[in-house]
């Protein structure tokens, strides 16, 4: 599922119907709001939001680069932040990064 943020009722029904058929869905480019709605129906999800977010902020302490847009330590921090904002029953089933 690409860039369907599942904020509309029809999108949620589409995800449920596909999941009910046993399809393992991947949320490509999903926003946090989309994960809140249908994260539990996905096998995995990804987003470049972490990189965009990092590119607009100062680097992490002790980092010498301009920003952390492509910084490996920044990505898992972002993931932890997103997952902690979701109820555990909404996690993608594989809890994939």
pLDDT at residue 92 in the model: 54
d(CA 93, CA 86): 13
Q: How many CA atoms lie within 13 A of 54 on its CB side?
A: 24
pLDDT at residue 82 in the model: 83
Beta-strand runs (E) in the chain: 25-28, 42-46
3-class SS of residue 27:
strand
* pTM for this predicted structure: 0.61
**Residue numbers of the chain with a pLDDT score lower than 50:** 2, 6, 94-97
């Amino acid at each position: 599922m690409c860039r369907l943020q599942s904020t509309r009722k029809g999108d949620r029904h589409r995800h449920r119907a596909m999941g009910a058929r046993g399809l393992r869905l991947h949320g490509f480019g999903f926003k946090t709001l989309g994960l809140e709605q249908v994260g539990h129906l996905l096998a995995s999800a990804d987003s470049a939001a972490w990189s965009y977010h990092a590119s607009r902020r100062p680097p992490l302490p002790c980092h010498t680069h301009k920003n952390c847009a492509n910084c490996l330590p920044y990505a898992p921090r972002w993931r932890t932040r997103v997952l902690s904002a979701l109820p555990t029953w909404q996690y993608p089933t594989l809890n994939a990064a």
